[in-house]
Amino acid sequence: MLVHRSGPARGRRFAVTGILLAALSLVSALPAQAADTPPRGSAHMGMGVLEHDGSHGTPVPGGAAQTEGVDVSSHQGNVAWSTLWSSGVRWAYAKASEGTYYTNPYFAQQYNGSYNVGMIRGAYHFATPDSTSGAAQANYFVDHGGGWSRDGRTLPGALDIEWNPYGAACYGKTQSQMVSWIRDFLTTYKARTGRDAVIYTATSWWTQCTGDYGGFAANNPLWIARYAASVGTLPAGWGYYTMWQYTSSGPTVGDHNRFNGALDRVQALANG
């Protein structure tokens, strides 16, 4: 026997069907968007440099004394430190942490391995100002490898503050909010370690996201990112750079850097 279904029941069924179809259409739109966003934790120094600033050659060997260095993160895995040492690399930074949610699983091999072949080494933190406060991230960094010791071969920690690989370039912050976040990190790091952290950044990002703030230059060494024959214009306040990341396609590992001075200046920064 046929059963007649009431109008309201049919209406509810159609309404549910409509909701399901709408949800499916939203889900189908997500994969393409998600595919463009790397997973949290995968960020590394210079991740946005090529996209935003491009590459304009490499530096020409000059008369000023400079010391070759590298920076590494989890995407390099276990690094051939003896090969890098033989090629003339004398200092290295390894990514220790990101936000308050990620630590580099290769950090011990990279941080200790560079030290064991004779390099002067340091650790860096990839900042995500949209996730937690600057103080929280500085504490997380120090607690997960970003500390400092007066052994003559450990560099002060570096704050990697650059384009957001997971969203809006300035992490949803105004320029004044970004400056406050950075200050919060730097103040906490110094309170924990007794050292002023190095700031790694690119001039174009710094101008866009801090309004070209110049107040950190007096105490915090500058590590500038620019893939070109020269460093170009520096962020406001800094009259010189301490380190320069000049390429992401160097030998053995991609990210190569030059310290603005001979090896004794690298040692001086380590000694504080």
d(CA 63, CA 55): 23
End-to-end CA distance of the chain: 91
Per annotation, catalytic residue among 36, 51, 68, 71 = 71
**Rounded CA gap, 268 and 272, in Å?**
6
With CA atoms as reference, report the closest residue to 118 among 78, 72, 152: 152
Rg of the Cα atoms in the chain? 23
151 annotated active-site: no
- Contact yes or no for 209/173 (Cβ under 8 A): yes
Annotated catalytic residue within 98, 162, 196, 255: 162
Task: Report d(CA 141, CA 135) in Å as an integer.
Answer: 10
Classify the phi-psi angles of 213: left when phi > 0, otherwise alpha if psi is within -120 to 50, otherwise beta: beta
What DSSP letter does each residue of 8-73 carry, written as one string? HHHHHHHHHHHHHHHHHHHHHHHHHHHHTSPPTT---TTTTHHHHT-EE--PPP-SS--EEEEEE-
The residue annotated as part of the active site, out of 53, 68, 151, 160, is 160
Q: Say how far apart CA 196 and CA 244 lie, in whole Å.
A: 18
Instruction: Please identify every residue annotated as catalytic.
Output: 71, 160, 162
